[in-house]
Amino acid sequence: MTDYISQTILKTGAWSNASDSCFLSYEDRFLRRKVLKTVKGASLLVDLAHTTSLDHGDAFAVADGEVIEVVAAPEPLLEITGDLVQLAWHIGNRHTPCQIESDRLLIQNDAVIGHMLEHLGATVTLIEAPFTPEGGAYGHGRTHSHEHGATAHDHDR
């Protein structure tokens, strides 16, 4: 049985006073239609018009004005330290989602990328933490492909 249905996403800062929350991994925050379990044990049917990339702090609007917050769940990640500029370039060159912080980079647990980074002098540590990578440079929230849609970016120039 579904306790809630949501067809509306409220972006971070566009709401207050959540009545419940859902902890979702980075992959789980990319959805169109899915049943989720909330922290309080309710079932939430998300039924969006288009596949959407959700950010930590976004929320689902449900009946009676209730709001269910999206929380980035801890997940297995690789913590990367070393020459962050060089390492970020190599991560980006592989279109790998990356969370950039002042003293470290975080990527999803990928042994092949981790091994490559170690060969470049990085210290790579497996950790468990929420993953909130940088969005795409052309207004897209995900970096899974090299498709940019209608943007000023053009490879034929």
* CATH code of the domain containing 81: 3.30.70.790
For 11-155, list the strands marked E by DSSP. Answer: 20-24, 30-37, 43-53, 59-61, 67-72, 74-81, 99-100, 105-108, 123-130
- For residues 126-146, give the mean pLDDT: 73
Q: Which residues contact 37 (CB under 8 A, 6 or more apart)?
A: 22, 43, 44
User: Do residues 84 and 44 share a domain?
Assistant: no
Based on the structure, what is the number of domains in the chain?
2
pTM of the entire structure?
A: 0.81
Same structural domain, 14 and 60: yes
pLDDT for residue 120 is more than 70 = yes
Which amino acid is residue 16, in one-letter code?
A: S
**Three-state secondary-structure class, residue 92:** helix
Looking at residue 41, what DSSP letter applies? Answer: S
Residues 66 and 112 in one domain: no
- Tens digit of each residue's pLDDT (9 = 90 or more) over 67-112: 999 999 999 999 999 999 999 999 999 999 999 999 999 999 999 9
- Write down the pLDDT at residue 11: 94
For residue 113, pLDDT over 80 is answered with yes
Same domain, 66 and 80: no
SS3 state at 157: coil
Q: Looking at the domain assignment, is residue 104 inside a domain? A: yes
9 lies in the same domain as 68: yes
**Domain range for 107:** 75-130
- Band of the pLDDT at 138, cuts 50, 70, 90? low
The b-or-e profile of 97-113 (16+ CB within 10 A means b, else e) is bbbeeeebbbbbeeeeb
